[in-house]
Amino acid sequence: MEEKQDGLKPRHVDMGERGIYHTDNRLNDLTGKEWVYATRSVINKSYPPSFQFQLRSQHGGQKPPELCADLIRTFTKAGERVLDPFMGVGGTLIGATISDRSAVGVEVNPRWVEIYREVCRLEGLTEQEAICGDSRAVLPTFPDEAFDLVLTDVPYWNMDRRRRSTGKFKRAGGPAVERRRSKLSPFAPGETETGVTGLAEKEEWLETMRAVFAQAMRVLRRRRYLVVFIGDMYHSGRYHMLSAQLAELLEGLGLVLKANLIWYDVSKSLHVYGYRYEFIPSMVHQNILVLRKP
């Protein structure tokens, strides 16, 4: 192949320490060296508390904006549009801001939208478009193929509503204390912790996911990616592989499963579960499903 006078091959751009960028890169702005790092199947990078972490952590499922930014940079180019149909406190939206992308988030709980806006105010960030509403109603108002990436963290079945033990928790050598309540948000306001109303059953949760992601797929451009955080659960004496069930549902909508990335959250604390009686996993990872629209 003919080389340019500066020693680089045609369509190659020297990005210094970042490595060599190829102008034929259709997906993102990464160099070859950055691409290799971005395609690893396990993410164990440490993301320190940032962007008003204490405020954002009122939402028990918040994700590090820098992790969201890394994913956004992997699946989009600068200036492209990102959709988060379950935005929570806005990790995806902040990630889009710090990676020079635009984003739209939809969140049913006004409390989380207000926290996102307060974080932007305190951090001096330009707000992305945050819509308070139910994605099942909001997404149908968007035009076809309006987004270059869907990145979201879904509400997890009834984990935040199911009945918890009324007993007390006691560490060895320490006093007995009341068990902490979940900080996760119900999918819709007004649902109860016992799960009597709302998404109490897994089948209903899956149907809600189907309704939202059918619309998310419609508004996603062809040959672009849908990326979903989903944690598995240990519940009622068994392990529930929600990631596999959600992946099957999404493929049923016509998306193609391309990867299951593992985010090993190094900040997660280990707890003693089932000691002396049975093995119960201490969940320190989440799955990141990567699917592509044909």
* Burial degree of 19 (CB within 10 A; 0-12, 13-18, 19+): middle
The rounded distance, in Å, linking the Cα atoms of 7 and 287 is 42
What is the identity of the amino acid at 206?
L
Instruction: Encode pLDDT of 214-239 as tens digits.
Output: 999 999 999 999 999 999 998 888 99
Query: CA of 60: how far to CAs of 17, 174, 180, 234, 245, in Å?
Result: 37, 25, 12, 17, 22
Supply the angle between the helices 91-98 and 110-123 in degrees, to the nearest 10. Answer: 30
Domain boundaries along the sequence of the chain:
12-43, 44-292
Q: Is there a contact between 288 and 231 (Cβ–Cβ < 8 Å)?
A: no
CATH number at 44-292: 3.40.50.150
> Beta strands 81-84 and 147-153: pairing type?
parallel
Instruction: Encode pLDDT of 136-146 as tens digits.
Output: 999 999 999 99
Give, for all 294 residues of the chain, the pLDDT tens digit.
Answer: 444 446 788 999 999 999 999 999 999 999 999 999 999 999 999 898 999 999 999 998 889 999 999 999 999 999 999 999 999 999 999 999 999 999 999 999 999 999 999 999 999 999 999 999 999 999 999 999 999 999 999 987 654 444 433 444 444 455 555 544 444 444 443 443 333 333 457 889 999 999 999 999 999 999 999 999 999 998 888 999 999 999 999 999 999 999 999 999 888 888 888 999 999 999 999 999 999 999
Bridge partners (DSSP) of residue 13 are 21
Q: Is there a contact between 60 and 85 (Cβ–Cβ < 8 Å)?
A: no
* Burial degree of 122 (CB within 10 A; 0-12, 13-18, 19+): exposed
